[in-house]
Structure formats: structure tokens, C-alpha cells
Chains A and B, each alone.
Chain A
Amino acid sequence: MHALYDLAVGPLAWLAFAVFILGSIYRLMSMRALALKKDAAFVAYISWPHAIRSLLHWVTPFGALGWRENPGVTIVTFLFHICLFVAPLFLMGHIVLFDTFHGWSWPALPDGVADTLSIVVVAACAYFLWRRLSVPEVRFVTRSHDWLVLALVGATFLTGVLAYHRIGDNLFMTTLHVLCGEAMLVAIPFTRLSHMLFGFFSRGYIASEFGSVRFAKDW
């Protein structure tokens, strides 16, 4: 188990970050090339001022019609995504690891806060799970891919929380957590989690069309 743990926090971690970063860059660049090649009649209208104006509305809770009409999802998804980034980035446990391996370090959140944020993510995942099961319009379009993605995110945060709280075998839980986290990182560029990479661009594109061609807001 120790060997596995060492493997996971050592070479596999390298690999996971490399795949995540290089994979993301590759996906973005190849999508850009594809857009220039095949969507010239649409790329031509991209207008950053309009894109940014729209994105500002969309990153504001209830700043767009879709958010206002879906208040439950809006609250949960904003909490989810904020905590999703903040908790692991400012987690003492993670920073310590970066410090140990690379000598990088930055201020951490108090453990209790990070723990709460992590629990929020787990709870949000539970909410998404519930929606997928019982909200008809979500269930209708749910496919296995969605379960997988949700499971990856949920498992990473759940195992992190369990490890932190020393529930279950700690070494096992931590190893499992690290492996889940790595799987999730690797999944980002290549699954639907790539919405993290492309979401701003797809919104920015349609915002440009609305702003610079159609003179209408898209929020």
C-alpha cells in the first residue's frame, strides 16, 4: 500500500498534471485550428468586448435569465464550482505536498474552512445526483457519461474528506483519494468536464454573435 501511495503521489501525480495541462492546451489549440478551418464564417464575428460583457453577466449568480429561472441549480452550482476550485487549491494538505516535492508554497485556508468547503462540494454532488435521478427533464437526457463524471468529482472530494477526518483506513483512503483526484484531472480535457476549457469560448462566441451582429443581449 505504501508503494502504491508513493507511486500515486510521485510519478502518477506528475503524469496526471502533465496530461491535464498538456491535454488542455492541446484540446484548446486543436479546437481553435478547427474553428479557423471550418467555422470561418462564424469566427469572423467574434468580438471580445461583447463576449466579456456577456460573461460578466453569466459569472454573476442570477445575472442571466437562465440563472434566474433555475434558482436552485444556480445557488448550488455557484457554490459547487467556487468550492471546487478554492478548497483543493488552498488546502493545507495539498500545499504541504507541493512544498515537499517542489518547494512551492502559498497561504492556506484554515483546515476547518477548507473542510467545510469540501463538504459543500460533496453535498452539491449529492444534489446533482438527486436531480439526475428525480427531475424528469434532467433524467431524460442523462447518460452513463454523466454518472462517470459526477462519480469522479464526488469520489475525489468524498475520499478527501474521509481521509481528512481519518474515517476508514487512512492510508487506503488517502491513496484512493489521490488516485481519484488524478483520474479527475486526466478526465478534464477529454470528457464533458472539458466544459471548463470550452465553456467560456462557447459562451463568448454566441455573445459575440448576439452583441455584434444581432444587437441583442444573450443573458
Chain B
Amino acid sequence: MVAALEGPAFTMAVNGEAWETTFDKAWYPRFSPDGRLTVLVQADGDWTLAVDDVAWEEQYGYVWNTMFSASGDIIAACIQQDGEYGFSIDGTPWETLFENANQPVFSKAGNAAAAVVQVKSLAQADIATFQEGIFSVAVNGEAWDSIFVNCWNPVFDPAGKNVAATIRRSLYDYSVAVNGKAWTGSYACAWAPAFNPATGAVAAPVRKAGAWGMAIDDAMAWEPRFGQLWQQAFSPDGSKLAAIACTRFGEFTVAVDGTPWGVSFPVVTDLTPSPAGARFAALASEHNTNFAVLCDGKVWDGRYDMAYAPVWSADGAHLALAVEKAGRQTIVVNGKAYPQSFDKCYAPAFSPDGKLVLIRALAGGKCHRIVAPVTAFTG
């Protein structure tokens, strides 16, 4: 909670207890995976990040987009200082800042942060310089040697050692660059790349001859035959690659290793690979209603007014998510709903053995924490 005190001062209150420090402004409260409460705060005109009532010492012109390593031990945020942009990691800014930096990413291991950075100045309406290339990707404050017209969607491999990004070498020549080295392949368009966590191969949807296919390591792996292809994800063992695919105009599904599932919907989102077992889940909907859950090519029976991101158990045996129907929310596991409904449900979590589900919810102004066995979901 961001709590307003008297006058224009803000602080944080956790379970009814207020922090000691107050700030002129506070926003973007986020819990880190290890349970610390962070918030972006302003005092005396400067911004910084406060973690559990302690603000970083360094202050900046602006701070935003708090990010965490997978375990939550390392915290990163985007910063702007004197009109220059970059990252601050646990309060330490990048050594080099850039004229602009956006599309920030933080590696799971917390060892590296990257962003698309502007490495050359651009005068107003100077289209010539832009087209010669002014963008690159900076990793931990150091930009790639190569410069492109555009860079988009930098992504890390799980170890945070390698970075891939979509690039545009001219207005018409899209490709992918890995650690600054561009693929030779040239495409009419390309979406965000993804690393194979096992082999380190890079896959990206690319458009060729009016259709989308999947290129892996600079070679066409799925022939271009889709109307769209995006949000590809490898199974963590690297054995399978899935992506959201448009098979005909207005019809979407998931394609696994290039083969679409037999069901299609107007919209498919939230493709999620299982941590083990090489399974995939996704959400389907029409016009933002009538949400359905797709799991390994099967459609669960339930239809919902809204569905939230699905969560797998560690062994990939169970799938849970929060759903909403007629204004009430609940948790659904393996297609079956929890018997009780709430005003709001947060993302569910599985116990490490996958047998129990943690439900965190609000109802009647009260917080509920329920630990239920997967067998309790019967609705």
C-alpha cells in the first residue's frame, strides 16, 4: 500500500504498519520474490528506490521499472540522470549512461542488465542520421560494437551470459543479433528472439514472402506459412519449441515444433511452458471475453470473463490460474475450480512437490491465504 499521510507526504504501510521514512512522492510498489517491499520514491526533487524502509543512497533524476533477479536477491531499476539513461543495480548505476535507453531486461541470475541504447546523437527531424543507425544494445553499461537502425526486445539466456535482440539494419531489413553479431538472414519483419535454455540456440519469428516462419540460428526452421507467429517459448529442457500462431486470418492457436494444435480461437495469449515435462499452456479468448485455457492442445471446459497468467507445478503435472466470472474470482487447477470465490485472486503458487496450491485472495476487505491440495479443486 502507498499511504498518504497528512500534507503532500507519502509512505508505505505493510499490514497496517507504516514505514518510518516519508517521501514527497511514492509509486510502483512491488514485492521482490524474496518478500522485500520496494517502492520508487522522491525526496527533495530526486528519485530513488526504497527497499523495506531503506532508500538507496544514490539518487537520480528519475527511477522506474523495478526488476528483480529470479531469487529476488538483486534489484535493478531504470534510471535517468542529467538526461542520460541506464540502470541502477542495487543502488549502483551503470558506469556509462546513454542518451536514451529503453526495453530494459534483467537476467534471471541477476548478473546482467541490458537495454536498447542510443549511441549517437540525433538532431530534430534528422532522418538521414537515423537511417544510418544510432541504436545498439548495452549490457551492464557497455554497448555492442555494432550499431543498427533499430534494436528491439533484447533477451538474456538463463545464465545471463548471452543477449539476443531483434534488429533492423535498414528500414526494410529485419534480422536478429546475438551478442552484437547480426544474422546474415534478412527478413521483411521479425519479432522478439528467445534462447533455447539447453543448447543456447536462438529462435525468432521472421516474415518472408508475406508469411511468418521460425528462424533458428540464422536458418529457417519452420517454413513461413503462418499469418502471424510470436511469443515463442522453449521447454526448459530445450526439446520443444512452441509459439502462438495465426493459421488463418482471425484464427490463432499454438504451434509446437511447427505443427499447430487442432483448435483455434480469435485470440491466443500467455503461452507458458512447464518447468518440466515439455508441456505448454496458453489462454484463448474472443474479443477479451469467453476466456478458455489451452493445455497441450486440449481445451478445458470452463469459460471465463477474464483469465490470468497460468502457473505450472514444478513437475509440469498441474496447471493453475486465477479466473473471473460474473465479477467473482477463483483459482482453477487442471480445469476444476476451487469451491469458494473471492473479490480478487492473486497468482496461485504450487508447493515444490506440486501437491498443494497456495491461494492468495481478497474477499470482503480481508486477505485470505489458503493452502489447498490439488484434489480440493472440484468445481
Q: How far is the CA of A78 from the CA of B375 in the complex (A)?
A: 75
A-B contact count (CB 8 A): 6
Q: How far is the CA of A41 from the CA of B228 in the complex (A)?
A: 12
Which of the four size classes fits the interface of chain A?
under 10
Q: Is the C-beta of B248 less than 8 angstroms from some C-beta in chain A?
A: yes
Proximity bits, A43-59, B CB within 8 Å = 1, else 0: 01000000000000000
A40 closest partner in B (C-beta): B249
Q: Which of B227, B248, B249 has the most CB of A within 10 A?
A: B249
Q: How far is the CA of A41 from the CA of B249 in the complex (A)?
A: 6
Proximity bits, A20-46, B CB within 8 Å = 1, else 0: 000000000000000000001100100
B residues contacting the other copy or chain, number (CB 8 A): 4
CB distance from B268 to the nearest CB of A (A): 18
B249 closest partner in A (C-beta): A40
List A contacts of B249 (CB < 8 A): 40-41, 44
Q: How far is the CA of A25 from the CA of B227 in the complex (A)?
A: 30
Q: Per DSSP, are chain B's interface residues mostly helix, strand or loop, or mixed?
A: loop
B227 closest partner in A (C-beta): A40
List A contacts of B248 (CB < 8 A): 40
CB distance from B3 to the nearest CB of A (A): 46
Complex interface residues of chain B between 228 and 284 (CB less than 8 A to chain A): 248-250
Q: How far is the CA of A40 from the CA of B248 in the complex (A)?
A: 8
Q: How far is the CA of A41 from the CA of B250 in the complex (A)?
A: 8
Q: How far is the CA of A44 from the CA of B249 in the complex (A)?
A: 8
A42 closest partner in B (C-beta): B249
Q: How far is the CA of A44 from the CA of B227 in the complex (A)?
A: 14
CB distance from A212 to the nearest CB of B (A): 13
List B contacts of A41 (CB < 8 A): 249
List A contacts of B227 (CB < 8 A): 40
Q: How far is the CA of A44 from the CA of B248 in the complex (A)?
A: 10
List B contacts of A40 (CB < 8 A): 227, 248-249
Q: How far is the CA of A46 from the CA of B19 in the complex (A)?
A: 61
List B contacts of A44 (CB < 8 A): 249-250
CB distance from B211 to the nearest CB of A (A): 11
Proximity bits, A175-199, B CB within 8 Å = 1, else 0: 0000000000000000000000000
Q: How far is the CA of A44 from the CA of B250 in the complex (A)?
A: 8
Q: How far is the CA of A40 from the CA of B251 in the complex (A)?
A: 12
CB distance from B266 to the nearest CB of A (A): 11
CB distance from A206 to the nearest CB of B (A): 18
Q: How far is the CA of A41 from the CA of B251 in the complex (A)?
A: 11
CB distance from B242 to the nearest CB of A (A): 24
Proximity bits, A150-177, B CB within 8 Å = 1, else 0: 0000000000000000000000000000
CB distance from A33 to the nearest CB of B (A): 16
Complex interface residues of chain B between 353 and 373 (CB less than 8 A to chain A): none
Complex interface residues of chain A between 56 and 80 (CB less than 8 A to chain B): none
Proximity bits, B325-340, A CB within 8 Å = 1, else 0: 0000000000000000
Complex interface residues of chain B between 207 and 228 (CB less than 8 A to chain A): 227
Q: How far is the CA of A44 from the CA of B246 in the complex (A)?
A: 14
Q: How far is the CA of A41 from the CA of B246 in the complex (A)?
A: 12
CB distance from A97 to the nearest CB of B (A): 49
Complex interface residues of chain B between 165 and 219 (CB less than 8 A to chain A): none
List A contacts of B250 (CB < 8 A): 44
A39 closest partner in B (C-beta): B249
Q: How far is the CA of A40 from the CA of B249 in the complex (A)?
A: 6
B250 closest partner in A (C-beta): A44
CB distance from B207 to the nearest CB of A (A): 15
5 shortest A-B CB distances, which residue pairs?
A40-B249, A41-B249, A44-B249, A44-B250, A40-B248
6 A–B contacts from the bound complex (CB under 8 Å): A40-B227, A40-B248, A40-B249, A41-B249, A44-B249, A44-B250
